[in-house]
């Protein structure tokens, strides 16, 4: 039986060696640091906003001219099949890591890093290693800079310690994890399809089939808007409890989905002695500062910071109607956001957006229709 040894990323078998990410890669780079003028073309230039759980969504991807595209390909800004791609800048820093396997030839902006492994190192194994909790903790605490906008510094990033193990073991470990990951990826895609169906139903019921006699009210009066807060970080008894506490990053990472986890948690004492609020299950939450307009729905009761708003239904138990109302209105809210340094959504932003809604019985009928 193998002995175990402690490393910066957790215990590993004693016979495994340790190297660095830079030493097992042919190169580590990022995409273009300049953004060519967009044109209507078949040449995609992807950024973090186009990354999904395990692939790129090209439906809203920027396209550039062939000359610009060819120039960036020659500058190593184009991933090859088998490259590990990492979100390296912004709210999704290090959250999205996947192997590029799509047939499209693309170029990338600098918000995405490219790691091309040397022969003998299996990309899927090292992708899962980089996504593991211990490695994520190590990377975020040692290789990310910037308090307002997190950013990976590539020259330091090359020094991330990684295990060196036999190829057969790489394949065996990765094959087990890949089978689970494929199921997760399928569920993400199914969720996206169901979300689109629900949004289509909302638009049909409340936009396309809207009646002239419906009441015009502000969005603020159609929801129950709740501010958040943060327990004092200097008091340890307020933190690491069993109540999930959401920051703007948690919400951005779970945009348009059901959020099930948070980076931080608080105690009952922290909840009692701060301005944060405990929202019920299926409430909506939206980021209000910095990266504004990211929203998600709660899988269980959670608390949240003052950089976000909690949203409960004004109409009894109509949680999904309320979520879809926010989804429908979010572009208007983002357009109305203001701020000298960071965009901000305030209560006045919600008060400034008008909508027309039918009587409560129609809203409740819609809730019954869309809840499944």
Same domain, 128 and 245: no
Is the confidence at residue 226, as pLDDT, over 70?
A: yes
Instruction: Give the span between the Cα atoms of 283 and 296, in whole angstroms.
Output: 9
Same domain, 241 and 346: yes
**Tally of CA atoms within 13 A in the half-sphere of 326 that contains its CB:** 30
Domain carrying residue 288: 210-370
Same domain, 49 and 134: yes
Residue 309 covered by a domain: yes
Same domain, 249 and 155: no
pLDDT band at 290 (very low <50, low <70, confident <90, very high): confident
**36 vs 190: which has the higher pLDDT:** 36
Is the confidence at residue 90, as pLDDT, over 90?
A: no
- Range 88-110 average pLDDT: 92
3 state DSSP class of 39: coil
What's residue 52's pLDDT? 87
pLDDT band at 342 (very low <50, low <70, confident <90, very high): low
**Domain count across the chain:** 2
Is the confidence at residue 267, as pLDDT, over 80?
A: yes
CATH of the domain at 125: 3.90.220.20
Residue 150 covered by a domain: yes
162: tokens are: 């990684």
Last residue of a domain, one of 161, 179, 197: 179
Same domain, 14 and 158: yes
Residue 152 covered by a domain: yes
20-57 confidence digits (pLDDT tens): 999 999 999 999 999 999 999 999 999 998 998 889 99
196-208 confidence digits (pLDDT tens): 888 899 999 999 9
Same domain, 167 and 245: no
Residue 17 covered by a domain: yes
Residue 163 covered by a domain: yes
Same domain, 157 and 235: no
Residue 319 contacts by C-beta under 8 Å, 6 or more apart in sequence?
282, 283, 284, 297, 312, 313, 367
**190 vs 169: which has the higher pLDDT:** 169
Same domain, 26 and 163: yes
Residue 244 covered by a domain: yes
Q: What is the DSSP string of 78-91?
A: S--TT-EEEE-BST
Count the residues in the chain: 372
Question: What mean pLDDT value characterizes the chain?
Answer: 91
**338 vs 267: which has the higher pLDDT:** 267
Is the confidence at residue 371, as pLDDT, over 50?
A: yes
Q: At what angle do helices 133-142 and 123-131 cross, to 10 degrees?
A: 70
What's residue 2's pLDDT? 67
Same domain, 344 and 229: yes
Is the confidence at residue 340, as pLDDT, over 50?
A: no
What's residue 255's pLDDT? 83
Instruction: Give the span between the Cα atoms of 326 and 357, in whole angstroms.
Output: 14
Which residue, among 273, 294, 274, has the nearest Cα to 285 in the 3D structure?
294
Residue 194 covered by a domain: no
Same domain, 33 and 95: yes
What's residue 341's pLDDT? 46
What's residue 339's pLDDT? 57
Residue 202 covered by a domain: no
Same domain, 238 and 90: no
Same domain, 158 and 265: no
For the entire predicted model, the pTM comes to 0.65
For 340, counting Cβ atoms within 10 Å of its Cβ (0-12 exposed, 13-18 middle, 19+ buried), the class is exposed
Distances (CA, A) of 365 to 65, 182, 212, 359: 49, 36, 19, 10
139-183 confidence digits (pLDDT tens): 988 998 876 678 898 988 999 999 999 999 999 999 999 888 888
115-146 confidence digits (pLDDT tens): 999 999 999 999 999 999 899 989 988 998 87
């Amino acid at each position: 039986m193998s002995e175990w040894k402690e490393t910066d990323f957790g215990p590993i078998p004693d016979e495994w060696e340790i190297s660095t990410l830079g030493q097992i890669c042919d190169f580590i780079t990022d995409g273009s640091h300049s953004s060519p003028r967009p044109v209507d073309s078949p040449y995609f230039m992807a950024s973090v906003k186009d990354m999904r759980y395990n692939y790129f969504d090209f439906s809203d991807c920027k396209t550039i001219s062939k000359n610009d595209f060819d120039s960036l390909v020659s500058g190593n800004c184009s991933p090859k099949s088998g490259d590990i791609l990492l979100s390296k800048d912004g709210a999704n820093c290090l959250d999205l890591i996947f192997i590029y396997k799509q047939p499209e030839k693309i170029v990338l902006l600098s918000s995405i890093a490219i790691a091309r492994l040397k022969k003998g190192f299996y990309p899927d194994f090292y992708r899962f290693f980089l996504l593991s909790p211990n490695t994520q903790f190590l990377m975020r605490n040692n290789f990310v800079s910037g308090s307002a906008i997190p950013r990976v510094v590539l020259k330091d990033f090359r020094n991330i310690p990684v295990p060196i193990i036999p190829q057969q073991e790489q394949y065996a470990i990765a094959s087990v994890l890949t089978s689970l990951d494929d199921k997760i990826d399928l569920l993400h895609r199914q969720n996206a399809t169901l979300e689109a169906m629900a949004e289509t139903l909302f638009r049909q019921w409340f936009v396309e089939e809207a009646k002239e006699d419906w009441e015009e009210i502000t969005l603020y009066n159609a929801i129950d808007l709740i501010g958040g807060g943060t327990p004092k970080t200097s008091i340890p008894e307020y933190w690491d409890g069993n109540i999930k506490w959401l920051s703007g990053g948690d919400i951005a990472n779970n945009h348009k989905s059901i959020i099930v986890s948070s980076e931080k948690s608080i105690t009952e004492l922290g909840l009692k002695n701060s301005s944060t609020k405990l929202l019920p299950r299926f409430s909506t939450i939206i980021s209000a500062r910095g990266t504004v307009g990211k929203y998600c729905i709660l899988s269980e009761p959670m608390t949240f910071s003052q950089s976000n708003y909690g949203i409960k239904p004004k109409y009894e138990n109509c949680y999904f109607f309320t979520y879809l109302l926010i989804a429908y209105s979010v572009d208007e809210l983002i357009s109305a956001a203001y701020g000298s340094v960071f965009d901000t959504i305030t209560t006045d932003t919600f008060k400034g957006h008008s909508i027309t809604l039918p009587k409560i019985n129609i809203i409740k009928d819609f809730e019954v229709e869309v809840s499944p």
